[in-house]
């Protein structure tokens, strides 16, 4: 049997799939152009095998979806058992009800839940429901919230509006210009800016990630909550990334600030597609009036995977392990930075630690990815921690990073960088 080269397959894919792949963040150009292996044949725990059967230590965890590691036995067992019983029928699957009850139990402020498969559509559904309830339909947002028209429309009056929320120069091609001035970004931790926006633009909805890279300043989230109460604005926390990663539920529970609606995805299904929108009853009931529906939201795989994942989170006590490993990695980054005099800025939660080179970041990031790949590690300047990032795996990663930092400090990048520069990275302001 002929072994397929993933690099060549990706080149071919670009001729029949726009961008080469359905998921933007999996484009090879974002990591290591013309060298990234692109495709996998199998995966287990923290290991991924490419099409040529090369084995890699994966520090990305499928863009943060697999905090239980790849191929969790108990989750897979639950899913397979239900698939054998039938996945999608004329009748509804009861797991939708069971999962709703479970997620609401974790968030006592919420009364109802609705589900999608992807995070982008979950965000769009949340905005639709909120707009059907809010007097003013304009949205103030902070952070990244998917690909739908309501979000990208922020770039119509300025292509720079999303620069610090996702990535520079995103095109609004295909977005109706009638949506101009309906969605407005605001800087994280900047209450003064937000208040001006509310007064000038008749904001009825505030949508934000609770935390990504930057810690909220003292009382920031609580003050946003009070503003929403005073102005009768619907507050939505997008926790597609942060939810069920550091605690059993949303990160907002740690900060003791409850929204009116919240969204969860990524880690909830342990690699299976499921996203949840939860909220207060008076708001969520509006979903009965506005038409929101999709055939495949009724399949049972995602619900089953989420229910089993929640059981595994409890059984394995994962959140403490993830936090401990994240803290360890951050401290080692700081030590290596000092050791080699390579200036970096460390950000992110303990579950998703990241750093940025203070000078020439994109070139250095590309070199880092290049050298990690040589050593059979899939990694850049950001890590999605999972429970199988053991001390042994971390030591392997750090050993390579030590050498990378040394080379950056002692050698000229133009002499050691063997790849084209990667695309400008995705940014999230918070």
Task: Provide mean pLDDT across the span 172-185.
Answer: 95
CB 386 within 8 A of CB 69: yes
| pLDDT score of 329 | 97
Task: Provide mean pLDDT across the span 214-218.
Answer: 91
Residue 352, helix vs strand vs coil: coil
* pLDDT category of residue 293 using cuts at 50, 70 and 90: very high
* pLDDT category of residue 10 using cuts at 50, 70 and 90: very high
| pLDDT score of 166 | 81
Is there a common fold for 6-64+326-416 and 73-315?
no
- Tens of pLDDT along 385-407? 999 999 999 999 999 999 999 99
| pLDDT score of 430 | 59
pTM of the model: 0.95
Task: Provide mean pLDDT across the span 81-105.
Answer: 97
* Helices and strands in the chain, H and E counts: 15, 13
How is residue 338 written in tokens?
Answer: 């000092």
- Tens of pLDDT along 109-150? 999 999 999 999 999 999 999 999 999 999 999 999 999 999
C-alpha span between 2 and 137 (Å, rounded): 56
Long-range contacts formed by 387-393: CB under 8 A, 24+ apart = 387/67, 387/68, 387/69, 387/316, 387/318, 387/321, 387/322, 388/45, 388/46, 388/69, 389/46, 389/59, 389/325, 393/46, 393/57
* pLDDT category of residue 4 using cuts at 50, 70 and 90: confident
* pLDDT category of residue 2 using cuts at 50, 70 and 90: low
CB 161 within 8 A of CB 154: yes
Q: What are the residue ranges spanned by the domains of the chain?
A: 6-64+326-416, 73-315
pLDDT at 69 over 90: yes
pLDDT at 176 over 70: yes
pLDDT at 1 over 60: no
CATH architecture of 6-64+326-416: Alpha-Beta Complex (3.90)
- At residue 347, φ and ψ (nearest 5 deg) are -135, -175
Q: Which fold has domain 73-315?
A: 3.40.640
C-alpha span between 76 and 74 (Å, rounded): 5
**DSSP for 167-235, written as a single string:** -TT---TTS-GGGTTSEEE--TT-HHHHHHHHHHHTEEEEEE-S-SSSPPPTTHHHHHHHHHHHHTPEE
Share of the chain above pLDDT 70, in %: 98
């Amino acid at each position: 049997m002929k072994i397929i080269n993933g690099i060549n397959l990706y080149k071919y894919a670009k001729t029949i799939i726009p961008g080469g792949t359905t998921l933007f963040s999996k484009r090879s150009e974002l990591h290591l152009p013309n060298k990234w292996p692109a495709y996998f044949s199998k995966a287990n725990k923290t290991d991924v095998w490419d099409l040529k059967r090369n084995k890699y230590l994966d520090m990305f965890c499928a863009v943060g979806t697999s905090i239980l590691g790849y191929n969790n036995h108990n989750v897979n067992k639950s899913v397979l058992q239900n698939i054998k019983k039938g996945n999608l029928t004329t009748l509804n699957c009861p797991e939708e009800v069971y999962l709703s009850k479970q997620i609401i139990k974790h968030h006592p402020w919420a009364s109802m839940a609705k589900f999608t498969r992807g995070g982008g559509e979950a965000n769009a559904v949340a905005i639709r429901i909120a707009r059907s309830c809010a007097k003013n339909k304009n949205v103030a947002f902070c952070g990244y919230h998917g690909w739908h028209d309501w979000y990208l429309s922020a770039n119509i009056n300025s292509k720079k509006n999303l620069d610090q929320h996702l990535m520079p120069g995103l095109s609004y091609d295909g977005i109706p210009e009638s949506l101009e001035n309906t969605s407005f970004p605001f800087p994280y931790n900047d209450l003064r800016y937000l208040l001006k926006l509310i007064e000038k633009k008749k904001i009825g909805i505030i949508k934000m990630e609770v935390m990504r890279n930057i810690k909220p300043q003292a009382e920031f989230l609580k003050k946003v909550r009070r503003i929403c109460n005073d102005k009768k604005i619907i507050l939505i926390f997008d926790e597609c990334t942060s939810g069920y990663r550091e605690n059993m539920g949303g990160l907002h529970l740690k900060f003791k600030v409850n929204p009116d609606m919240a969204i969860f995805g990524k880690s909830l299904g342990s690699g299976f597609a499921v996203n949840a929108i939860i909220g207060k009853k008076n708001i969520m009931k509006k979903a009965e009036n506005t038409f929101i529906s999709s055939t495949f939201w009724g399949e049972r795989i995602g619900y089953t995977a989420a229910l089993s994942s929640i059981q595994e989170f409890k059984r394995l006590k994962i959140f403490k392990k993830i936090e401990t490993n994240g803290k360890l990695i951050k401290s080692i980054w700081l030590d290596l930075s000092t050791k080699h005099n390579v200036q970096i800025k460390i950000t992110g939660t303990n579950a998703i630690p990241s750093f940025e080179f203070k000078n020439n970041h994109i070139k250095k990031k590309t070199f880092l990815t290049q050298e990690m790949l040589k050593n059979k590690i899939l990694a850049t300047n950001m890590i999605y921690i999972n429970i199988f990032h053991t001390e042994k795996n971390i030591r392997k990663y750090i050993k390579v990073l030590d050498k990378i930092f040394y080379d950056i400090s002692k050698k000229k990048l133009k002499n050691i960088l063997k790849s084209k520069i990667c695309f400008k990275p995705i940014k999230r302001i918070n």
